[in-house]
Amino acid sequence: MMGPRQIAQGQLFYEFSLDAMVPPDHLLRSMDRFVDLSAVRPLLASSYSSAGRPSVDPELMIRMLMVGYCYGIRSERRLCEEVGLNLAYRWFCRLDLTDRVPDHSTFSKNRHGRFRDCDLLRRIFETVLARCIAEGLVAGRLFGADASLIKADASRYSKVQTEDWSAGENISRAAQEYLDTLDDAAFGAATPVHPKTLSPSDPAARFTGANGDRPFFAYSTNYLVDLEHAIILDVEATAPVRQAEVGSVRDMLMRTEDTFGLHPETLVADTAYGAGEMLGWLVDEQGINVNRHPNGPPDRRPKVTPLARG
């Protein structure tokens, strides 16, 4: 016999538990027991007024950003929509069914304001890394370094000649950041060669064809990784030029040692990091062996041999 047609009928009361709706093997449930954001509020305390309307919970914003990173949700507008619709996301963010999701503009305002002023995201990164070290996931003997191109949100068709560009009277945030980094070793001061073109919407991005395809505006994300369990130890953004990328590795090695007392025996990197000055600093001053992986297809790469420690 055919069953009756299902028609939703509103009820006056519901008995419902978000916790019961999240499976035991769900990724966010596995993550939640390790997430410790107790340091967020003390770090941001001085950025909030003692009077006025209560702000959006900063821990909620960080949890929402974690959801976005884990599930590849790059748009904050879409992230807010997904958190509103997905029960597991709501559970992880400590939102009940009737709690409102913050507006997407809240993220950009805090990222360029409070979060940046106290370097909050780096502090959270270091907290996670400290937990990895405490759990024995970081051996501290063999490090790897490399850079990845990150495409900037700037059209290649809107580029202008550098000499024709002017910040104007009403300087945008992107233009001000570009001007602030002109003397930064990771950006403007990385090389004496000035870029021929730039993007009016994101002047700090560099026009590059390093991926072998059509040139585009980009940044470099530089990583320092403990190769025992592929744990990222440090990250630094630079202009996509070799000098800046090599200099960032030196900065990350020093910062990792100063913060966590980690000093590797060996560093693995490709030949882009094999300049004489860098090798001298690593081997002679830091006592670090260097394994250089030449660029090219794996079947054509010669056997890697470690350089002797100085």
Distances 140 to 102, 239, 278, 284, 300 between C-alpha atoms, Å: 40, 28, 20, 19, 30
C-alpha 218: how far from its chain's center?
15
Of 165, 159, 171, 14, nearest in space to 98 by CA = 14
Sign, Cα dihedral of 170, 203, 154, 118: negative
The pairing of strands 231-238 and 206-208 is unpaired
Q: Residue 170: what pLDDT?
A: 66
Instruction: With beta carbons less than 8 A apart as the criterion, state whether 145 and 232 touch.
Output: no
pLDDT tens series, the chain, 310 aa: 666 776 666 666 667 788 999 999 999 999 998 898 988 999 888 888 888 888 889 999 999 999 999 999 989 999 999 999 999 999 999 999 889 999 999 998 888 888 988 899 999 999 999 999 999 999 999 999 999 998 988 888 888 887 777 766 666 766 777 677 766 766 766 677 778 888 888 888 888 887 777 889 999 999 999 999 999 999 999 988 888 899 999 999 999 999 999 999 999 988 878 878 888 888 888 998 877 655 544 443 333 333 333 3
Asked if 245 contacts 222 with a C-beta cutoff of 8 angstroms, the reply is yes
* Residue ranges of domains in the chain, CATH in brackets: 18-45+54-125 (no CATH), 137-162+175-300 (3.30.420)
Q: Which two tokens stand for residue 138?
A: 């970081």
Structure tokens belonging to residue 213? 């395809």
CA distances from 279 to 195, 214, 256, 267, 286 (A): 27, 32, 19, 11, 10
Alpha-carbon torsion (27, 62, 238, 78), positive or negative: positive
Distance CA 145, CA 227 (A): 10
Task: Tell me 25's DSSP state.
Answer: T
pLDDT given at position 301 = 38
Q: Are 22 and 88 in contact (CB under 8 A)?
A: yes
Q: What is the model's pLDDT at position 188? A: 65
H-state helical runs in 17-152: 18-21, 27-32, 40-44, 58-70, 76-85, 87-92, 105-111, 114-117, 120-134
Q: What does the radius of gyration of the chain's CA atoms come to, in whole angstroms?
A: 24
At residue 86, the pLDDT reads: 95
Percentage helix, strand, coil, to 5, in the chain? 40, 15, 45
Alpha helices in the chain (DSSP H): 18-21, 27-32, 40-44, 58-70, 76-85, 87-92, 105-111, 114-117, 120-134, 173-180, 242-260, 276-280
